[in-house]
Amino acid sequence: MNTAPSLDTLTPAAPEPLCTSADLEERGQAWVWDVLEYGRPARAFAMRFDGAVVAYLNRCVHVPTEMDWQPGVFLDMDKRWILCSIHGASYEPADGRCVGGPCGRGRLTPVRVQEHQGQVTWYPSRDIRPVSFETLDEPPAPPAAADPT
């Protein structure tokens, strides 16, 4: 039996460009993007909170559904907590920890991000990967014309 870790777990993924620093206002609208989690489509979001850029999968701990009130709107009216629009679970933006509501002791799934020289990048992991448009199916070729002979 081969117990060696796969190459995927040994090779750090290259950072992926996400947005510019100016796209993320303090406690403003989040940047939402598509990812693959374990090969399945999912969404992630990045926001600026207390000056730092944080990012998580857009999935509530209570029920695995997207949380934003409107696209990119995650914070409550006071812009203090991430508030799930479905049943009101509250999360600490700085670390994704549940602080109230039906999320219990759960925590949002973090996505590693970095801000450098006005650019925000995210780091794919073994579990959370970028969507690769190269893997999408090619459209079917048109049928060949009938041979008149």
SS3 10: helix
Nearest to 18 by CA among 114, 82, 96, 110: 114
Q: In this structure, how many other beta carbons lie within 10 angstroms of the beta carbon of residue 141?
A: 6
Counting contacts by CB under 6 A, is residue 99 touching ligand FES?
A: no
Closest CA to 44 of 18, 77, 79, 6: 18
94 binds ligand FES (CB under 6 A): no
Q: If binding is defined by CB under 6 A, does position 60 make contact with ligand FES?
A: yes
Report if residue 27 touches ligand FES, rule: CB under 6 A. no
Nearer to ligand FES, 105 or 116 (CB): 105
Provide the Cα torsion 102, 104, 109, 112; round to 10°: 120
Cβ distance to ligand FES smaller for residue 20 or 65: 65
Residue 101 makes contact with ligand FES by CB under 6 A: yes
96 binds ligand FES, rule: CB under 6 A: no
Residues that bind ligand FES (CB under 6 A): 60, 62-63, 65, 67, 84, 86-89, 101-102
